[in-house]
Amino acid sequence: MNYQHHLRAIASPLPAGKVVCVGRNYAEHAKELNNPVPDEPLLFIKPSTALVDMRQPIQLRLDHGPVHYETELAILIGQPLTRGQPDQVTAAIAGVGLGLDLTLRERQSQLKQQGHPWELAKAFDGSCPLSPFVPFEAITDIEDCRLQLEVDGELRQNGSSAEMLTPVVALIAYISQHFTLLPGDVVLTGTPAGVGVLQPGMQLTLRLDQVLELQTSVRV
Ligand code: ZN
């Protein structure tokens, strides 16, 4: 469960920071939840207490309704970035990995209906399992890399960053217009279609291009 441990896997130790996330960055996913596509990125933040190591079994709490998985490309920030231009954004990326944006979907629907913030549905303890990160240089093209999730051997999510409504570098530049990103912060870039409910006993396999593959499981 030690998040620091795998940050050290890529480089010098970085503190565990905030996670800045974007909603509805893939049109097909917005459609599957009957959400309109936003005209600018829809941002929310998970605190550092949301972070857990994805290689450990995902600990599910069942007392707040169903928890959905959302597989997302995760970008680890290595340098401070405020109001960044594209070249500054790429210079600030330390690593690339995968994250799960765990979501209490019924709670989120209620909050949306009420016009309330999403934190109770998105920012709870353990709501952001992260893979280890590979160095940015290991990725051939950040704007066209493939992320996949298999659940019990069946492909459930399969998308490319090329399908994002706001591409990776532009998204991070946009985020940094509003929130300074610091070393150890992580950006989650949105989920492709195919989200669904996590159940105890599920075996998950996540892949990023040819550079990262990991297995994990779900338990209560
Ligand atoms: Zn998400």
Span from the CA of 192 to the centroid of ligand 1 (angstroms): 9
Q: Which domains does the chain have, with CATH numbers?
A: 3-215 (3.90.850.10)
Residue 110 has pLDDT above 80, yes or no: yes
Span from the CA of 7 to the centroid of ligand 1 (angstroms): 21
Span from the CA of 164 to the centroid of ligand 1 (angstroms): 12
pTM assigned to the model: 0.92
- Tally of CB atoms within 10 A around 152: 11
Ranking 27-41, 79-93, 128-142 by mean pLDDT, the lowest is: 27-41
Span from the CA of 72 to the centroid of ligand 1 (angstroms): 7
pLDDT at 37: 82
Span from the CA of 58 to the centroid of ligand 1 (angstroms): 17
Residues 50-99: tens digit of each pLDDT: 999 999 999 998 899 999 999 999 999 999 999 999 999 999 999 999 99
Span from the CA of 190 to the centroid of ligand 1 (angstroms): 5
pLDDT at 30: 84
pLDDT at 141: 96
Q: What mean pLDDT comes out for the span 98-108?
A: 96
Residue 3 has pLDDT above 70, yes or no: no
Which residues neighbour 189 within 8 Å (Cβ) at sequence distance 6 or greater?
Answer: 22, 25, 72, 73, 74, 75, 161, 164, 168, 171
Q: What mean pLDDT comes out for the span 24-41?
A: 88
Sign of CA dihedral 69, 148, 98, 163: negative
Span from the CA of 91 to the centroid of ligand 1 (angstroms): 25
User: Could you identify the residue written with the tokens 């441990």?
Assistant: 5
Span from the CA of 32 to the centroid of ligand 1 (angstroms): 13
Span from the CA of 47 to the centroid of ligand 1 (angstroms): 15
Query: 13 pLDDT band (50/70/90 cuts)?
Result: low
Query: 31 pLDDT band (50/70/90 cuts)?
Result: confident
Which residues neighbour 4 within 8 Å (Cβ) at sequence distance 6 or greater?
Answer: 13, 16
Mean pLDDT (the chain) is 92
